[in-house]
Amino acid sequence: MDHKKTILITGGAGFIGSHVVRLFVKNFPQYQIVNLDKLTYAGNLENLRDIENLPNYRFLKGDITDEPFIENLFAQHPFDSVIHLAAESHVDRSINGPMAFINTNIIGTVNLLNATKKSWTGNMENKLFYHISTDEVYGSLGEEGLFTEETPYDPRSPYSASKAGSDHMVRAWHHTYGLPVVISNCSNNYGPHQFPEKLIPLAICNIKSNREIPVYGKGENVRDWLYVEDHATAIETIFHSGKTGRTYNVGGNNELRNIDLIRILCGIMDNRLGRKQGESEKLVKFVRDRPGHDLRYAIDNTRITGELGWRPSVGFRKGLEKTVDWYLENEKWVSSVLTGAYKSYYRSQYDDR
């Protein structure tokens, strides 16, 4: 399979992107992988140290909102495919500052679509623009039901609205200009290398240093959790076998209320830190809720499992233990991201909450 040879992966220095880059670089030495990333606060080249010297990998620092830069990049490189993950990704930050989300998630995506369209002329059989999106575009579920690929879009945060906007743009470029595209919408990921602004790594770091665990509202919101390496295998499966123009929902049938997740996590942390069972849970603090907090997300994954044969391979408890162990064993990574900027972000989000 030597088509789709040169692949541009955007956002490859981030959490999910770094796992995707690693999987492609290691498993497909015949492909050239170019990782384009702006290295925002969420991008970290430490995530890729183990593969950075492999011959089929190259890193480029750049901003997808910079139109001339993107145009020039495509003029210089004959990309066969794009796997687009670069985004502003945190709901709480989108509430405080939506413009960065509009710029990167919508304008940045359109810049990539335009550059791809310009550079892919003629036969597009072996070309693919793969857009990575989120289940949050579907809005919020009540107690019952699951998101299918036919669920109408109903985004409710600036983050999810910007991702919904980018999904619409990708489909518009497909229907209007014939660009070969595929989209996947995945549920909440967790695992190594996730920036500790998101619930699980934030809680791990706080528990370790005996700080409060801020749980929004009553902790009754439900998320559907998938281990990040399983998302990476889903992306690889869709990249190679997904049908052009189609959407795939990705999730591992693993719904949990936030408070139940935190209790499981506290139990694992007690165990790993040699604390008495129940000790870490005392750190839970119910704090003021997130405005517009979506109640429940849950994915119906029958399309990707039925049509493409993908299955998640890591159960939640095992995945959470692996995640905890990674954070405890990688103190250097953790302290390198808990910078002054992180501390001032943390204060602005959680002081007086």
Q: What residue ranges bind ligand NAD (CB under 6 A)?
A: 10-11, 13-17, 37-40, 42-43, 63-65, 85-89, 104, 108, 132, 134, 163, 186, 188-189, 195
Q: Give whichever of 229 and 294 is closer to ligand TYD, judged by the CB atom.
A: 294
> What are the φ/ψ torsions at residue 222 (nearest 5 degrees)?
-110, 135
Alpha carbon distance 35, 219 (integer Å):
37
Q: Which residues 224-263 are close enough to bind ligand TYD by CB under 6 A?
A: 258
Site membership for ligand TYD, residue 221 (CB under 6 A): yes
# residues near ligand TYD by CB under 6 A = 12
Task: Please say whether the beta carbons of 221 and 257 come within 8 A.
Answer: yes
For the beta carbon of residue 341, count every other beta carbon within 10 angstroms. Answer: 10
3-state class (DSSP) for residue 182: strand
3-state class (DSSP) for residue 119: helix
Nearest Cα residue to 166 out of 207, 205, 136: 136
CA distances in angstroms from 334 to 21, 243, 337, listed in the order given: 21, 39, 5
Which of these ranges, 123-131, 168-176, 214-222, 247-255, lies near ligand TYD under the rule CB under 6 A?
Answer: 214-222
Encoded one letter per residue, x for contact with ligand TYD by CB under 6 A and - for no contact, window 81-100 reads ----------x---------
Closest residue to bound ligand NAD by CB: 14
Q: Residue 198 CB, nearest distance to ligand TYD (Å)? A: 4
Site membership for ligand TYD, residue 205 (CB under 6 A): no
Nearest Cα residue to 69 out of 296, 11, 77, 49: 77
Look at residue 104 and give the partner it binds from ligand NAD, ligand TYD, none, a contact being a CB closer than 5 to 8 Å depending on partner kind.
ligand NAD
Q: Which two tokens stand for residue 15?
A: 């959490």
CA distances in angstroms from 329 to 14, 113, 266, 303, listed in the order given: 19, 40, 17, 37
Q: Which residues are catalytic?
A: 135-136, 159
Q: Give whichever of 114 and 134 is closer to ligand TYD, judged by the CB atom.
A: 134
Residue ranges that bind ligand TYD, judged by CB under 6 A: 91, 188, 198-199, 202, 214-216, 221, 223, 258, 290
